[in-house]
Structure 1
Amino acid sequence: MAEVVRDRESLLARIIPLGGDRRLIGIAGPPGAGKSTLAGWLEARVAERCGAEPQRVAQVPMDGFHLRTAVLAERGLRDRKGAPETFDRDGFADLLCRARTATGEITAPAYSRELHEPVPDAHRIPASVRLIISEGNYLLLPDDGWARAGECLDEIWYLDVSWAVTRQRLIDRQIAGGRTPEAAAAWVDGNDKRNTELVAAAAGRATVILRP
């Protein structure tokens, strides 16, 4: 059974101090839960504790493995963007597994909310890195490719935030991206709600559940 914690400092205590073998930590949760914010906070706190040089912490976010819009259109998946089948899950799992044992520098892609496309080589992971943080909706899914990605991680934490909170955040995000309020709500209540339900169903597989 997953351990339940209420504050971010408890999570920081699980990964400090760093040393020895490289560790990979995953942060899962529904769309709009604040996974990237938590990952950024952890990265900053670890860097603060360990010093900026040499680099000790880096990120490999799942969102960098979005399939490109042209590929989604070709596969008839444009209206499902953000769903599990709209990611390169095998490429994501391959990079995580390679990152565990890499002795030289590797890079990872990021997702641009301005371009609405993945950006290659946006994250740098030099050999000095001892902690890799990976955040994404689907790290706990038991399906083939996602399960393989999860197996490359030492722990997966689930960020548990209510639908009422994430729904408004997601609508605001869609409006900021150019949709009308009506179109934003329709997208969130259709696409994002389905994805949220899928993610929440796998929460019990987490090592730790954070309920802020």
Structure 2
Amino acid sequence: MTYDDLLRRAAALARPGHRAILGIAGSPGAGKTTLARRLVRDLGDIAAHVPMDGFHLADAELDRLGLRDRKGAPETFDAGGYAALLRRLRDERGEVVYAPGFERVLEQPIAGAVPVPPGARLVVTEGNYLLLDTGSWVRVRGELDEVWFCAPDEEDRVRRLVARHEEFGKSHEAAVAWVLRSDQRNAELVAGTRERADLVLTAAQLPEP
């Protein structure tokens, strides 16, 4: 299956008079955002991109909960709020719905940053934990028409992830340490969910970053 095949499959979900939600899951650095942005770009006005990252808990709340060093783990997201937004996107098609975004330089969620217009018949949402079967993540999966799982080469995934952390201010040593500690734990958890996906995509099927 090529990227063009994926594009056609996504387009087929976007039926007139209906709003579908396509989920793209995978471990940190797997290429989820790249694929989501490419699909939305190529589909044009009928599609919108809503990342899960807007539902990160704020650092102040993570500090209160004692979870700052676990940032990025499932318990550091508002999964219930994410599920509620997905339901709202499905139900409220006649007006603009605003979703939160995530500012990578600040490493903070930003309210009302992502507009989803009425004409968007397909919402592409991406995140690590779309296929988790615990807590409110079960409700998230229930709102998704399909979920595709990105499974790139592991060395490439880690390399991209280190580069991303460096791009947003970490030293090389700090980036490697974070990837091998926090991100790797999350990656192992996510890898165990791939069998629940409708489609598993290998490196050859994923667009270049």
Q: Hey, what does 1:172 align to over in structure 2?
A: 163
Unaligned 5+ segments in structure 1 are 48-54
Partners of 2:105 and 2:170 in 1: CA distance: 13
Shift of 1:34: 1.1
Partners of 1:16 and 1:196 in 2: CA distance: 29
Unaligned 5+ segments in structure 2 are 205-209
Deviations 1:110-147 (A, max 9, x none): 11111110111111112221110000010011112111
Shift of 1:100: 0.6
Percent of aligned positions that are identical: 45
**Matched-pair contact (CA < 8 Å) for 1:107–1:125:** yes
**Matched-pair contact (CA < 8 Å) for 1:58–1:123:** no
**Matched-pair contact (CA < 8 Å) for 1:30–1:137:** yes
Question: TM-score, with normalisation over the residues of structure 2?
Answer: 0.92
* Residue type at the aligned position of 1:12: L
Q: Hey, what does 1:152 align to over in structure 2?
A: 143
**Matched-pair contact (CA < 8 Å) for 1:139–1:146:** yes
Deviations 1:172-197 (A, max 9, x none): 11222222222211111010111000
> Does residue 45 in structure 1 map to residue 34 in structure 2?
no
Matches within 5 A, 1:1-212: 5=1, 7-17=2-12, 18=14, 19-47=16-44, 55-102=45-92, 103-211=94-202, 212=204
Partners of 1:10 and 1:209 in 2: CA distance: 13
Specify the SS of the correspondent of 2:37: helix
* Residue type at the aligned position of 2:96: E
Partners of 2:164 and 2:116 in 1: CA distance: 29
Question: TM-score, with normalisation over the residues of structure 1?
Answer: 0.91
Partners of 2:195 and 2:110 in 1: CA distance: 32
CA RMSD, Structure 1 to Structure 2 (Å)? 1.2
Partners of 1:16 and 1:38 in 2: CA distance: 14
Partners of 1:146 and 1:70 in 2: CA distance: 23
